[in-house]
């Protein structure tokens, strides 16, 4: 079967080339450097080829990257021409989307910002919260689209990813493992505690917060270990350091029974973005 290359991955790829670095590219496509890194990894996985290599501190295109750049520009030009021709100013009405914090950085600064620019007449509302709260709002018809987490066997799974441990590796060897977690209910909090209990490892919660950015700060400061997916810190999971294994988690997409034009388009684009995340 042919490989489908999501346009957001191609757009980020071209932006990095044009800007000369991920730092400068992030300012143009409204996506964080960590999200850009994930997108390029996913694009390389789909193509099964490396697109960049490092020359000192500079990112340079490989031979395959040079070839892909020309095609990416052509695909994006045709894509944007088609969107402008078909949808120009026709989308209006209310669009309500909810997402977990892990996806907010990727979606708010990328997909939703671009959607708002393309469809200024659409009344966009975004809610960032835990999956349980978002699903309750969906059931009460207060949201149209929900992107959250669920067990890997969930029928609404868009993609699956392994959970990983994050933090200072020296903390893993302590007799009592310090944990940094989000407030309950939290699937990752439960998975970390269950894994340590099943392994007979003593632990204590050292940091508890409702905010993912605060959790990241605490983990980077060495105040505790935590359990998330690679979206938390793409290049920093702890491997083979004696901590118990963790399960997989599914990224799921739920929608209201009937979606109008702009809402259906946003749900389709959100599915594509999430499906492109590396597993």
Mean pLDDT rounded to a whole number for the chain: 85
Same domain, residue pair 96 and 75: no
Same domain, residue pair 108 and 232: no
Tokens of 63: 């031979």
Same domain, residue pair 77 and 215: no
Same domain, residue pair 264 and 212: no
Q: Rounded to two decimals, what is the model's pTM?
A: 0.66
Same domain, residue pair 141 and 267: yes
125-128, Cβ contacts within 8 angstroms, sequence gap of 24 or more: 125/94, 125/95, 125/96, 125/97, 126/96, 126/97, 126/98, 126/99, 127/96, 127/97, 127/98, 127/99, 128/98, 128/99, 128/100, 128/101, 128/104
Same domain, residue pair 231 and 180: yes
Query: For residues 224 and 220, what is the distance between their CA atoms, to the nearest angstrom?
Result: 9
Tell me the backbone φ, ψ of residue 50, rounded to 5 degrees: -80, 135
Question: Does residue 1 fall inside a structural domain?
Answer: no
Residue 146 confidence (pLDDT) above 90: yes
Judge contact between 269 and 111, C-beta under 8 A.
Answer: yes
Residue 120 confidence (pLDDT) above 80: no
Same domain, residue pair 23 and 71: yes
Same domain, residue pair 173 and 201: yes
Query: For residues 146 and 176, what is the distance between their CA atoms, to the nearest angstrom?
Result: 37
Summarised one tens digit per residue, pLDDT across range 61-81 is 999 999 999 999 888 888 776
pLDDT at 112: 78
Same domain, residue pair 183 and 241: yes
Domain span at 35: 7-86
Question: Does residue 2 fall inside a structural domain?
Answer: no
Interval 140-147 mean pLDDT = 89
What's the CATH number where 256 sits? 3.40.190.10
Query: What confidence tier does 231 reach under pLDDT thresholds 50, 70, 90?
Result: confident
What's the CATH number where 48 sits? 1.10.10.10
Question: Does residue 45 fall inside a structural domain?
Answer: yes
Query: What confidence tier does 29 reach under pLDDT thresholds 50, 70, 90?
Result: low
Same domain, residue pair 57 and 127: no
Question: Does residue 222 fall inside a structural domain?
Answer: yes
Query: What confidence tier does 104 reach under pLDDT thresholds 50, 70, 90?
Result: confident
Question: Does residue 198 fall inside a structural domain?
Answer: yes
Query: For residues 21 and 26, what is the distance between their CA atoms, to the nearest angstrom?
Result: 9
Please state the domain count of the chain: 3
Same domain, residue pair 108 and 46: no
Same domain, residue pair 65 and 192: no
Question: Does residue 104 fall inside a structural domain?
Answer: yes
């Amino acid at each position: 079967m042919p490989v489908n290359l999501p346009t957001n991955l191609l757009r980020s790829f071209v932006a990095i080339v044009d800007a000369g670095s991920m730092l400068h590219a992030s300012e143009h496509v409204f996506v964080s450097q960590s999200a850009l890194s994930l997108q390029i990894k996913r694009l390389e996985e789909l193509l099964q080829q490396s697109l960049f290599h490092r020359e000192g501190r500079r990112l340079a295109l490989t031979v395959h990257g040079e070839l892909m750049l020309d095609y990416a520009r052509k695909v994006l030009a045709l894509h944007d021409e088609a969107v402008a021709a078909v949808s120009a100013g026709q989308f209006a009405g209310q669009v309500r989307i909810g997402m977990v914090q892990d996806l907010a950085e990727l979606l708010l600064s990328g997909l939703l910002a671009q959607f708002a620019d393309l469809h200024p007449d659409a009344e966009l509302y975004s809610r960032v919260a835990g999956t349980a709260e978002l699903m309750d709002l969906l059931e009460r018809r207060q949201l149209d689209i929900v992107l959250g987490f669920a067990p890997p066997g969930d029928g609404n799974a868009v993609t699956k990813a392994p959970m990983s441990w994050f933090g200072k590796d020296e903390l893993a060897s302590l007799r009592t493992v310090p944990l940094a977690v989000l407030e309950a209910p939290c699937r990752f909090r439960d998975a970390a505690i269950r894994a340590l209990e099943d392994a007979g490892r003593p632990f204590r919660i050292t940091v508890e917060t409702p905010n993912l950015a605060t959790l990241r700060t605490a983990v980077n400061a060495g105040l505790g270990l935590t359990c998330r997916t690679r979206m938390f810190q793409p290049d920093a999971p702890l491997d083979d350091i004696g901590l118990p294994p963790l399960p997989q988690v599914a990224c799921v997409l739920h929608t209201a029974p009937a979606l109008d034009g702009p809402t259906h388009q946003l749900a389709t684009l959100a599915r594509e973005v999430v499906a492109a995340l590396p597993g």
